[in-house]
Chains A and B, each alone.
Chain A
Amino acid sequence: DAGVIQSPRHEVTEMGQEVTLRCKPISGHNSLFWYRQTMMRGLELLIYFNNNVPIDDSGMPEDRFSAKMPNASFSTLKIQPSEPRDSAVYFCASSLGQGFNTEAFFGQGTRLTVV
């Protein structure tokens, strides 16, 4: 398996623009997580899906952020409108099973820069 696949790897956008990050989890994994990593705040969980259903979105910072998982092999994280403080590395991770009690496999991440 190719692992968790994220695209794009790098994104530079202007403030106010819409940004969509994409993730393909490992086949057969039924939990998917979106994390954000910054120097100031470290790794933060944004949202967690199990069997394509959002279970915990308490980490989503604002209404500008939204995430979907239309099927077991695809998820998106959208920021609209983007702001400079959204600049970070966004990781998608997947795991087998439910919850946070199994190994999480992280994608390579998307480095987002909002200017």
Chain B
Amino acid sequence: GQQVMQIPQYQHVQEGEDFTTYCNSSTTLSNIQWYKQRPGGHPVFLIQLVKSGEVKKQKRLTFQFGEAKKNSSLHITATQTTDVGTYFCAGGGNKLVFGAGTILRVKS
């Protein structure tokens, strides 16, 4: 079945440094969604990418969808303490398959 791999599992950065998490699917995806989950919270939708090669920005966050629609990345520029949490990618199609998530910790 469809699998979505996400790396790294964990990243600890100094405030102001950049952060990137990568997502790879074993199959071509119809879309990819990104969610953020704060510690003790619930997943909150960030964005959906649909088109091959698509790039979207939300302030300091940049999301990319690969040309083959099998990989995606989320890049945060100049991290802040409010960025702390777990970032999940989720591959859409017949079902939404979540990656394991990347835990981001930010040292101030």
Contact = CB atoms under 8 A, between A and B. Distances in A.
Partners in one complex: yes
B85 interface: no
Contacts of B100: 42
Where chain B touches its partner, the secondary structure class is loop
A33 B96 CA distance: 10
A50 B54 CA distance: 29
Contact of A103 (B30, B33, B93): B33
B88 interface: yes
Contact of B42 (A100, A101, A103, A106): A106
Contacts of B99: 42
B6 to A, nearest CB: 9
A104 B94 CA distance: 15
A43 B90 CA distance: 10
A101 B45 contact: no
Contact of A106 (B31, B44, B48, B101): B44
Contact of B92 (A48, A93, A100, A109): A100
Contact of B45 (A48, A99, A100, A103): A103
Contacts of A91: 42-43
Interface string B23-47: 0000000110100000001111100
B95 interface: yes
Interface of B: 30-31, 33, 41-45, 48, 88, 92-101
Interface of A: 33, 42-45, 48, 56, 91, 93, 99-109
9 contacts: A43-B43, A45-B95, A45-B97, A91-B42, A99-B94, A100-B31, A102-B48, A106-B43, A109-B42
